[in-house]
């Protein structure tokens, strides 16, 4: 246990180095002509660095807890409900799990707080939870009946854009941005370990030659549900709520004790239902040994402590400094003085966010294990960094150089996703959509979104929402392109080997 804890701590420390160096460099440059002055005060920097230290401990503790609790719970329940061979039982349990695991997601709490002026956070949580619940059921049935993930994705994104076609004007654009962000924040540090192992548990019991590849894709499917349910809810609410008036303001000076107490309560309310549900389900159906059960309970405690520390550090350190950076750099944008820096900063943030995101490491490790090292963790991380960095740059360009509708990004990007999905191997499509959901996790909610909101508060009429939706789609394209490159390489190697075999055999022919 101590060895595992030390390894998690080391990984977490290495992960936050890029974002720490980035902020320190920005702080130093503000005393030169390169950056605007008074962007980050000394006290803000000290608070940020202290929060970053706690962030490392929180991330390491959470990762350890998720590995011995959330991952095991997902695997045990996934295997158990499949063995029952009752479709009705599977549907009910999967739906309830989907709702509870989503409500437990801290990323959703962050987004709900940022939108609290327009919509009640708990209404948003339940709405998104229902979407995840429905699509967890669909993902479960897809694995059991071995249906093509590609066809499901094409069908449901057709529904998403059919609903989007009903939106118009500034209010419609705000609804679209919030809906896509809702889909993105769904898959964070709590849901990712659970959904990945849940899908793997169901696929393992079902068996078959494609059981390993079929375990992927369920996270990506669960990101689609909130798009539909949130867009539907906001369409109804738009009759009496104007979402286009969303304010780009974040409280920067928050007392750490207030943030800590709030985080303790939020995480407790979020995790408790899932914990109680598992204990009851385990007592009735699974009946683990006392040793294994105590280990999982200990994992839940670690998860609670880690998430509380992580969320407190993010709210007290990351959100305020992200907003402050965007706000100060966005101030002189119309004069064009620092617009080029925002592009560079967007690239750096994109890389840092992927490296620090807890869920990314959970996914990349499982992909490497299932693929037998064919899709390495290093290759996955590089691909995801490129995708997320490009997504943030796209949104910065939209805020800086033109207040055009974000639908001009979403429509062509998702069209590219679908076209590539029809070409590349199935496992890359599944991993791609899972990666999109994972990459748009806690760091996107706590740092990237406030950064873009800070720019939008000065630069133009946009709210800043929608960037998480972009972060969700770009890694999908990146992974699918990786799959395309892999498929082409295999074909070329096969052709070369086949040609070599034919030439060798031809030389052995004896002519009479």
Residue 242: predicted pLDDT: 74
- Residue 144 gets the label, from left (phi > 0), alpha (psi -120 to 50) or beta, of alpha
Residue 359: predicted pLDDT: 67
* Closest alpha carbon to 468 in 359, 382, 391, 363: 391
Please report where in the chains the tokens 């890359």 appear, as a residue. 428
Please give the DSSP secondary-structure letter assigned to residue 423: T
Q: What is the pTM of this model?
A: 0.81
Residue 14: predicted pLDDT: 75
Residue 228: predicted pLDDT: 92
Residue 248: predicted pLDDT: 54
Tokens of 168: 């118009």
Question: For residues 463 and 372, what is the distance between their CA atoms, to the nearest angstrom?
Answer: 44
Residue 337: predicted pLDDT: 62
Contact 355, 385 (CB under 8 A): yes
**Tens of pLDDT along 116-128?**
777 888 888 889 9
Question: For residues 197 and 190, what is the distance between their CA atoms, to the nearest angstrom?
Answer: 12
Residues in the chain with pLDDT values less than 50: 334-335
**Tens of pLDDT along 223-236?**
888 999 999 998 88
Residue 131: predicted pLDDT: 92
How many Å separate Cα 26 from the centre of its chain? 26
Residue 134: predicted pLDDT: 92
Through-space distance between the first and last CA atoms of the chain, rounded to whole angstroms: 73
Q: Any alpha helices (H) in 84-120, and if so which ranges?
A: 87-103, 106-114
Question: For residues 84 and 322, what is the distance between their CA atoms, to the nearest angstrom?
Answer: 48
Burial class (CB in 10 A: 0-12, 13-18, 19+), 208: exposed
Q: Kindly report the number of other CB atoms within 10 A of residue 285's CB atom.
A: 15
Mapping DSSP to helix (H, G, I), strand (E, B) and coil, where does residue 247 land?
A: coil
Residue 220: predicted pLDDT: 81
* Closest alpha carbon to 118 in 177, 51, 166: 177
């Amino acid at each position: 246990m101590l060895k595992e804890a030390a390894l998690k701590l080391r990984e977490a420390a290495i992960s936050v180095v890029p974002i720490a160096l980035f902020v320190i460099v920005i702080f130093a440059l503000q005393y030169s002509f390169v950056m605007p002055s008074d962007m980050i005060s000394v006290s803000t920097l000290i608070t940020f660095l202290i929060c970053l230290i706690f962030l490392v401990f929180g991330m390491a503790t959470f990762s350890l807890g998720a590995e011995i609790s959330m991952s095991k719970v997902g695997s045990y329940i996934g295997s158990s409900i499949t063995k029952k061979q009752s479709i009705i039982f599977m549907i009910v349990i999967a739906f309830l799990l989907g709702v509870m695991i989503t409500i437990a997601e801290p990323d959703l709490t962050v987004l709900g707080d940022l939108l609290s002026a327009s919509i009640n956070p708990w209404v948003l949580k339940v709405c998104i939870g229902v979407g995840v619940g429905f699509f967890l059921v669909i993902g479960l049935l897809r694995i059991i009946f071995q249906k093509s993930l590609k066809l499901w994705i094409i069908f449901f994104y057709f529904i998403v854009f059919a609903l989007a076609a009903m939106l118009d004007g500034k209010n419609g654009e705000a609804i679209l941005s919030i809906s896509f962000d809702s889909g993105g924040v769904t898959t964070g540090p709590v849901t990712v370990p659970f959904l990945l192992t849940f899908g793997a548990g169901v696929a393992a019991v079902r068996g078959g030659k494609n059981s390993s590849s079929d375990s992927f894709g369920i996270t990506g499917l669960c990101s689609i549900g909130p798009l539909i349910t949130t867009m539907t809810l906001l369409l109804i609410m738009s009759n009496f709520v104007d979402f286009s008036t969303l304010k780009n303001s974040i409280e920067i000076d928050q007392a750490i004790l207030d943030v800590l107490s709030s985080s303790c309560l939020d995480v407790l309310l979020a995790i408790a239902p899932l914990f109680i549900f598992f204990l009851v389900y385990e007592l009735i159906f699974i009946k683990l040994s006392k040793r294994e059960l105590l280990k999982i309970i200990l994992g839940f405690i670690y998860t609670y402590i880690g998430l509380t520390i992580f969320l407190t550090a993010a709210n007290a350190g990351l959100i305020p400094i992200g907003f402050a950076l965007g706000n100060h750099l966005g101030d002189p944008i119309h004069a064009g003085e620092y617009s080029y820096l925002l592009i560079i900063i967007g690239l750096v943030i994109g890389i840092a966010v992927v490296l620090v995101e807890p869920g990314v490491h959970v996914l990349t490790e499982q992909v490497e294990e299932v693929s037998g090292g064919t899709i390495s963790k290093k290759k996955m991380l590089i691909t995801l960094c490129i995708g997320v960095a490009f997504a943030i740059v796209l949104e910065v360009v939209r805020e800086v150089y033109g207040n055009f509708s974000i639908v001009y990004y979403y429509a062509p990007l998702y069209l590219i996703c679908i076209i590539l999905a029809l070409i590349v191997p199935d496992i890359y499509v599944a991993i791609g959509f899972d990666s999109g959901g994972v990459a748009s996790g806690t760091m996107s909610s706590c740092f990237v979104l406030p950064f873009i909101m800070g720019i939008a508060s000065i630069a133009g009429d946009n709210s800043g929402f929608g960037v998480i939706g972009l972060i969700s789609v770009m890694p999908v394209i990146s992974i699918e392109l990786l799959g395309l490159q892999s498929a082409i390489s295999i074909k070329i190697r096969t052709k070369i080997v086949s040609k070599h075999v034919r030439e060798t055999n031809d030389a052995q022919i004896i002519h009479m």
